[in-house]
Structure 1
Amino acid sequence: MNDKCRRLHIGIIGCGCSGLVTLKELLDEGHECTVFEKSNCVGGLYREAYQQGIFVSSHILTMFGDFVGKDENILEEPRMLSFIEYSEYLNDYAENFHLKKYIEFNTEVKSLWKDYSNNKWNILLNNSQNIYSFDRIAICCGIFGNKNVPLFQNQDLFQGKIKHLKDIKHYEDFTNKSICIVGSGESASDMILAAAQYGKKAFLSIRNDHGFLIPRYIHGNQYGPADLDTSRAHHSIPRAWGILHTYIDMINSLIKSYIKCFIYQKGHSTEYDLIRRKGIYMNLKQIRTSNIWTTYGTKNSNLVEALIKYKDKCSRKPGIKELRKNSIIFNDNTEEFVDEIICCTGFQNSFPFIELSSDADQDLKAIVNQSKISHNLYKHCYHPDLGDEIVWIGFARPALGAIPPLIELQARYFALLCSNKLKLPNKTDMNKQISKYVKYLEWQLTPYRVNRLTNLTDYLIYTDDLARIIGCRPNFTKIFFTEPKLWMKLMFGPLLNAQYRLVGPHAKPKQAKEIILKAKWVIQPNILYFIMLIIYAFFWLVFRIESCKPAAWYPL
């Protein structure tokens, strides 16, 4: 075997979006792969979720960099896909790149362990006694597999039902019930609106601040998804100026809303206008503790709609103090009678094929237990004690942005490591970089959020960081002088992963340019962001004021 360009046999656990793109990138590098998927189809998770579910990021931001899908108009008329539509996109992705022949469906991994006699990783399946041996393992089972359900005081006294988000299949299940939704993320926002629409009473329990509220669509569906302003200009704003940026952004949105009302609607505000303004005021109310850069985004204003449209039967409550037989006592000592509590409280990382395996040694089990805290892995992917022998792909979540683009870059990095075209830092350097990275996250997102949401990261800083390592981050200065139209779309258009296919390994420059130039963009807010960015950059470049250093311009 040529050590300069290895060809390895790699086992992939899970075949959602993480497993699929990992398989595709490894095959592009010439590796031999087998994927183990416990369900009977591609995208099984999205088929299992509540069927009225809709993504909170547009397909433009969510899609992989080299595959748009079958909808030829989606770039010019972007929208959020339903969970079912996204599972179909993943199936089309698998068909387009001929991936299905490498996938073993209905195969759940029972055990994973290392055979030190031949330095191979062994996998045993639940439905077979055959042992599969691999050079490397990619764990791609995702962050949405295992429920995180809190324990409430006096929970054993409560005679109603306590469910997790994952237990909900249809909104109609809330009909004629009094429901308490716990949480303020995007799924909680969906659930509280459904509970208000179908139920008798609906309560939204939020312990502290809610996420930064952003509607799915700007001024209604006809203007396109709100994340069209998730641009490089926007996300290069220095993080230290989050409060000022939030004020400017929210005031700009309010001014546009009122101008639209008075000029185009003859002074009449639509229901959407009222919901949008209420969300802005809710963001401003907690700006000192949760601004646009210091918290996660709730890219779904359904919770605002529920509180406004159904105010007679829907209300916000603080955290839960204790449960009684048929009621909840909240932290403000108010009592409400409920039939069900729906916990939209996230998920826990769990790897039972190692944790419960009788074949795995204790050192491996300890490493896997540490790896549940995603940001304690190098680039959210590699444990320093294992190097690139096992990779965790799909366990990083951007505070604002979509998960699949992060996954694609993680997969490309891993594929190049397997081929020996790139190398990981040594163990000492990895630990130093992990420590530095976590301190940065705590500075930006606060220790409270980083310790609670251990997979949280910053979208552009993280993707640019991986792109620099891979060698696929474009030279924006060069593009400015040689292709100004492309530069405009790269700076002011949405952050498509196609930008990382312009150069570098497995680049597809012609296809990437077509995608970038065709994609819809919104100009006004991004011009505002660019003016702000120029001002910050001036103070950084001339006076070296560290807080004005543009984000992602330099390696972390």
Structure 2
Amino acid sequence: MVKKRVAIIGAGVSGLTGIKSCLEEGLEPTCFERRNDIGGLWNFTKHVEDGCPSIYKSLVSNISKETFCFSDFPMPENFPNFLPNAKYLEYCKLYAEHFQLLKYIKFKTTVCQVQKHSDFDSNGQWVVTTENDGEKATTVFDAVTVCSGQYVYPLLPLDSFPDVNKFKGKILHSREYKEPMEFDGKKVLIIGLGNSGADLASELCTKASQVYLSSKRGVCMFRRLGRDGYPFDLSFITRFQNWIQLTGPPALSRFLCEKYMNDQFDHGFYDIKPECIEMKEPLVNEELPSRILAGLVIMKPGITKFTETSAQFVDGTKVDNLDVVIFATGYEVRFPFLDESVIEADFNEGFLYKNIFPVNLQKPTFFFIGFIQPVGPIAATVEIQNRWAMRLFKGLHRFPSNKERKDQLVENEKLRMKRFGTAKGNCRRINYIEYMDDLASNINAKPNIMKLLLTDPVLGLKIFFGTTTPYQYRLTGPGKWAGAREAILTQWDRIEKPLKTRGMKKNIERSFLPVTYLPSVLPWFLCAVILFVAIWIKG
């Protein structure tokens, strides 16, 4: 029997897991990568390349290695808990080599156009036009997955800043920033308080004469260093806390999140307290507060206008003699190879069923992978998306009707309104565990916690109260990995290993839950008790 062919656009994290998911389902993948190497966003280059993601040299992961790994390939135990971009690229290469994925990738090949086959209504096929070394080729595929990434095309809203065209200094987007040396002695204004804006401000202030960081809104900021010195996400991404957040009243969830946020440092004291804690995705940075304390970074509100050498702000203040303005204003999602008449992409309102499949497409043969913003690891998320997509393509789980898909989008919009205060522009934001469980349940890969608590209580307790690591989604169902249980039970060994470099003996044997969980779990446990009592009284 001839294998069905799947085109994968991009060989980053999404593309690599896409190749592997195809192989697991007996499909024939062909991945097109315009660069000469894998890694996508995590592949640092000294110069900006058109149509490719671009990062700064000092970029470090915001999520620790045990949550940022792939579900059936733990990171080497000697890898640091938070990975510099070069280290994570090394991990991606180890993954690709281990599962023999490289032979399915066509490097230095650009996808120029994707069109429906002339007989699409019956076969659902796609015609893909590519270019390599000046030569174009056209190939028919049974399915297409877009894994080109959401951090490629910079959003530079110059029209929103009056008289910015009068400014005579240097203007650039954070995408163009690589290293701080060229800003030595400069006075720099950074616009935008996201992860990039915070990172650039923290780094640039070591070279620049002064750094100003402008933001219209505050932000929820976490440090990588969590309770008791453990990686913060180990106690933050748990099923128990997530269950309380989803079942308890929204006000309680907001209160607990705000408490966790301010336990690290008082955001109001640093003038970055968010107006609504859920309106903007959190960022991860431990250096910015100390830079603000030292006066190396000065926080500023929104900008009203520019002059030739200065910027004026909504509070009436002004900064003169500016040399550089950096817009850390994010990215817009574009697909130059895809005509709107084929699929009209609208990431402001949402157009993807399960954040994967175009809602109006009648054949399940085209998928967008990785165009999401989870408060959690992206690697595990794109992996489960690929697994879900390929099984839907093969007809191994139900394809809902057009009405059902549209109804789901409406429900998602209502949910975003409830959680974030607005639905506009939030269609990519997801609750990590809820989303992972939803897709996993569709492909029978969601762990049965109640069954595990009865048959394997140590594992069951770690899964419910401990960190929700990707290995959980390889315990059962298609793609089951025999090493999943062992990976979960030994994850703390890999967390501790890179820190034990002095040959010191361990003083305390670790229980099934790390000490850092106890103060984290206690308030959530009390909330659960109150919730149960309220339900019991009402009943």
TM bracket (short chain): 0.7 to 0.9
Report if aligned partners of 1:322, 1:328 keep a CA contact under 8 Å in 2: yes
8 Å Cα contact 2:474/2:484 also seen in 1: yes
Pairing partner for 2:337 from 349, 353, 356: 353
Determine the C-alpha separation between the residues in 2 that align with 1:501 and 1:466. 13
Offset, 1:404:
1.3
Specify which of 159, 171, 181 is matched with residue 190 of structure 2. 181
More helix by percentage: 1
Which residue identity is paired with 2:104?
Y
Provide, for residues 368-415 of structure 1, a one-character-per-residue CA deviation record: whole Å limited to 9, x for no partner.
Answer: 333x448431011111222422100000111x2121111111001011
TM-aligned CA distance change 1:445 to 1:101, over 3 Å: same
Query: Structure 1 CA distance, aligned partners of 2:30 and 2:349?
Result: 25
Residue 103 of structure 2 aligns to a residue in which SS?
Answer: helix
Residue number in structure 1 paired with 2:179: 170
**Conserved in 2, the CA contact under 8 Å of 1:189 and 1:301?**
no
Post-superposition Cα deviations, 1:166-205, rounded to whole Å, max 9, x if no partner, equal 1011122322111111111112111111122211111111
TM-score with structure 1 setting the length: 0.84
Residue identity in the other structure for 1:63: C
Q: How many residues align?
A: 496
In 1: Cα distance, 2:272 partner to 2:536 partner: 32
Find the partner of 2:68 among 56, 62, 65: 62
Distance 1:136 1:254 in 2: 47
SS in 1 for 2:528: helix
Distance 1:188 1:408 in 2: 28
Q: Does 1:475 align with 2:448?
A: yes
Change (3 A) 1:465 1:117: closer
2:424 is aligned with 1:429:
no
Counterpart in the other structure of 1:142: 149
Look up the match of 1:40. 36
Q: Where in structure 2 are the equivalents of 1:430-469 lying within 5 Å? A: 430-447=405-422, 450-469=423-442
Question: Partners in 1 of 2:414 and 2:446 — Cα distance?
Answer: 25
User: Which residue in 2 is equivalent to 1:316?
Assistant: 299
Q: Is the 8 A contact 1:206 1:319 kept in 2?
A: yes
Give the match's secondary structure for 1:369. coil
1:126 aligns with 2:135: no
Conserved 8 A contact 2:413-2:427: no
Letter in 2 for 1:217: L
Instruction: Write the deviation string for residues 86-117 of structure 1: whole angstroms up to 9, x where unpaired.
Output: 11111111101000000000101111111223
Structure 2: distance between partners of 1:432 and 1:193? 44
Please give the alpha-carbon distance, in whole angstroms, between the structure 2 residues aligned to 1:435 and 1:544: 31
Distance 1:529 1:392, change over 3 A: farther
Alignment match, 2:328: 344
Match of 1:106 in 2: 108
Q: Which residue of 2 aligns with 1:235?
A: 242
Range that drifts further, 30-39 or 201-210: 201-210
Q: Which runs of 4+ in 1 moved over 6 A?
A: 252-255
The question of whether the paired residues in 2 share the 8 Å contact of 1:35 and 1:103 is answered with yes
- Once residues 133 and 411 of structure 1 are traced to their aligned partners in structure 2, the CA distance between those partners, rounded to angstroms, is 20
Structure 2 residue runs without a partner (length 5+): 45-54, 493-513
Question: 1:151-173 CA deviation, whole Å, 9 max, x = no partner?
Answer: 12112111112211110111223
Distance 2:475 2:111 in 1: 37
Report if aligned partners of 1:233, 1:533 keep a CA contact under 8 Å in 2. Answer: no
The 1-side partners of 2:14 and 2:534 are apart by 38
Structure 1 Cα separation of the partners of residues 401 and 299 of structure 2: 50
Name the SS for the 2:17 alignment partner. Answer: helix
Cα distance change, pair 277–143 in 1 and its aligned pair in 2 (3 A): same
- 1:96/1:26 CA distance change after superposition, 3 Å: same
Identity over aligned pairs, percent: 28
C-alpha deviation, 1:285, in angstroms: 4.6
- SS in structure 2 of the partner of residue 380 of structure 1: coil
Q: Which amino acid aligns with 2:108?
A: N
* Distance in structure 2 (CA, Å) of the matches to 1:536 and 1:65: 35
Q: Give the 5 Å matches for 1:496-535.
A: 496-508=469-481, 510-520=482-492, 521=514, 522-535=516-529
Among 127, 137, 153, the residue aligned to 2:162: 153
SS of the counterpart of 2:136? coil
Residue number among 317, 333, 351 corresponding to 2:316 in the alignment:
333
Alignment gaps of 5+ in structure 1: 256-275, 356-361, 546-556
Map 1:404-419 → 2, pairs under 5 A: 404-419=379-394
Q: 1:426 to 1:443 in 2, by over 3 A?
A: same
Deviation of the 1:533 alpha carbon = 4.8
| Residues 282/461 of structure 1: CA separation in 2 closer, same or farther (3 Å cut) | farther
Aligned residues of 1:176 and 1:199 also touching (Cα < 8 A):
yes
AA at the equivalent of 1:353: F
Q: Secondary structure at the match of 1:181?
A: strand
Q: Secondary structure at the match of 2:6?
A: strand
> How far apart are residue 544 of structure 1 and its match?
6.5
Higher deviation after alignment, 89-98 or 190-199:
190-199
How many angstroms apart in 2 are the aligned matches of 1:528 and 1:24?
Answer: 40
State the shift of 1:55 in Å.
0.8
Tell me the residue number matched to 2:467. 494
Cα distance in 1 for partners of 2:29, 2:428 equals 27
Instruction: Kindly indicate whether the alpha-carbon contact (under 8 Å) linking 2:217 and 2:272 is maintained by their aligned counterparts in 1.
Output: no
Q: CA deviation at 1:316?
A: 0.7
Distance 1:231 1:385, change over 3 A: same
Distance 1:533 1:99, change over 3 A: farther
Label 1:319 to 1:254 Cα distance change in 2 as closer, same or farther (>3 A).
closer
CA contact (8 A) 2:349 2:424 kept: no
119-128 vs 129-138, which deviates more? Answer: 119-128
Contact 1:374 1:381 in 2 (8 A): no
CA distance in 2, matches of 1:185, 1:253: 16
Partner of 2:265: 277
Gap change, CA 1:354 and 1:540, over 3 Å in 2: farther
Q: Give the SS at the match of 1:138.
A: strand
CA contact (8 A) 1:204 1:316 kept: yes
- 1:273 corresponding residue in structure 2: none
Q: Which residue of 2 aligns with 1:218?
A: 226
Please say if 1:207 is aligned against 2:216: yes
Give the whole-Å Cα distance in 2 for the aligned partners of 1:332 and 1:544: 50
| Structure 1 residues 167 and 536, CA gap change in structure 2 (3 angstroms) | farther
Shift in CA distance, 142/463, structure 1 to aligned 2, threshold 3 Å = same
Q: CA deviation at 1:363?
A: 2.6
**Letter of the 2:367 counterpart:** V
